[in-house]
Amino acid sequence: MGLEERKKLLPAPYTVPVLRWDSEVVAGSDEICAFLDERVAEPLLYPAEHEGEIRRLERAASDLYWVNGWLSTVDAAGFERWSGARVRKYVSGGGAGVGPRLLFKALPGSVTSRMIHGVAKKSYLATLRRRGAELGGETGAACLRLAAERDTAAVMEEARAMLRVFDRELQASATEFFCGASEPTAADLTLYGMLERWLGNSLCPGLNGPAQPSVIDGMPGLSLAWERMHERFQRDCTLSELDDFADIATSVGDVTWSRKG
C-alpha cells in the first residue's frame, strides 16, 4: 500500500498525529493533549496554575510548523539530511509506482536525488499555498509568504528568532520545562515535536536524520530541554519498528472528540 492510500485511512485532513482511545478518535497534537488531560489525572499537560501561559506557549510553538517544514523539505540540504535516503529507498522499492522505480534504476543517483527533492519541494510549496488560502489571517499570510520564499538563510533566521523566545522562557524556568513544571507540559511536547525533526531522527533511528542540526546553536535553555526530551522519547517511544507505518491497514475512523467542538 502506497503512502497516499495509507493517508486516506486517517480522518481528514489525513495528517498525524491521530489518537484512537477505545471508541474515541482524536486528531491533532493540541487536541490529543487536551483529551489526555481529561482522561489521565497525572501528570497534567496543562497545570492549572499555569494553564493560560502553557496554552500561549503551545500556540507559539505550533507557529513553528511551517518554517519547520520549509527547512526540512524546500531546503535541499535539510531535505537530504532529514529524509533523502528514506525517500530514495521508498521510490526504489516501488512505493511511488513502477514508473518512478524504473527511472530510479536507470538514472544516476545524483539525478534521481535532485528529481526526488524537486517533487517534494513542489508538493510542499503547493501545500503552503493551499493552506494559506484556507487558513487566512496571520497564519495564512505566513504560509503564503513562505510559499514564495527561496532564501534558506532568511527562513533559518526567522526560525531562530522564534526559537530564541522559547530559549529565554526556558532559561527563566526553574526546571528544563516551561513554567517550572516537573514534567513536560503540552507546550514542551509541541516544541519538542518541532525540534525532533530539526535536531533528531524523528524517533526513527537509521531512517531519518536531523534536518537542521545547528538551528538552536547558542541557545542553552533549548539545548537542555531538547537533550532531556530526546533521551526520554528515544528510549520509550522509538518508531523505527513501524516499518513505514504498514501497521495502519484499516481506517482509523472519523474524529469523535474535540475540545473545539
CATH number for 182:
1.20.1050
Q: Is residue 80 part of a domain?
A: yes
Inform me whether the pLDDT recorded for 3 exceeds 70: no
Q: Is residue 48 part of a domain?
A: no
Residue-wise pLDDT tens digits, 223-246: 999 999 999 888 777 665 555 555
Cβ neighbours, 10 Å, residue 134 = 11
What per-residue confidence (pLDDT) applies to 43? Answer: 86
Shared domain check, 188 and 101: no
- What does the radius of gyration of the chain's CA atoms come to, in whole angstroms? 19
Shared domain check, 57 and 36: no
Nearest to 65 by CA among 157, 188, 197, 211: 197
Q: Is residue 171 part of a domain?
A: yes
Shared domain check, 159 and 60: yes
Looking at residue 208, the DSSP 8-state letter turns out to be -
What per-residue confidence (pLDDT) applies to 242? Answer: 57
Gap between the Cα atoms of 190 and 34, Å rounded: 12
The reported pTM is 0.86
Q: Is residue 58 part of a domain?
A: yes
Shared domain check, 134 and 169: no
b vs e for 67-84, b when ≥16 Cβ sit within 10 Å of the residue's Cβ? bbbbbbbbbbebbbbbbb
b vs e for 188-218, b when ≥16 Cβ sit within 10 Å of the residue's Cβ? bbbbbbbbbbbbbbbbbeebbbbbbeebbee
Q: Which domain holds residue 243?
A: 53-64+155-255
Grid cell digits, residue 7: 493517508
Confidence class for position 120, pLDDT limits 50, 70, 90: very high
Shared domain check, 192 and 82: no
Tell whether the torsion through CA atoms of 96, 99, 102 and 108 is positive or negative. Answer: negative
Grid cell digits, residue 212: 537542521
Kindly report the length of the chain.
261
What per-residue confidence (pLDDT) applies to 221? Answer: 97
Shared domain check, 143 and 92: yes
Q: Mark which of 100, 129, 149 sits at the end of a domain.
A: 149
Residue-wise pLDDT tens digits, 131-183: 999 999 999 999 999 999 999 999 999 999 999 999 999 999 999 999 999 99
Per DSSP, what are the bridge partners of residue 39?
none
Looking at residue 222, the DSSP 8-state letter turns out to be H
Residue for grid cell 481506517 = 251
Gap between the Cα atoms of 30 and 22, Å rounded: 19
What per-residue confidence (pLDDT) applies to 13? Answer: 74
Shared domain check, 170 and 120: no
Gap between the Cα atoms of 47 and 216, Å rounded: 27
Task: Give the mean model confidence (pLDDT) for residues 188-197.
Answer: 95
Nearest to 31 by CA among 18, 44, 42, 41: 18
What per-residue confidence (pLDDT) applies to 240? Answer: 59
Q: Is residue 173 part of a domain?
A: yes
Shared domain check, 183 and 137: no
Residue-wise pLDDT tens digits, 74-119: 999 999 999 998 888 888 888 778 888 888 888 887 888 999 999 9
Shared domain check, 102 and 20: no
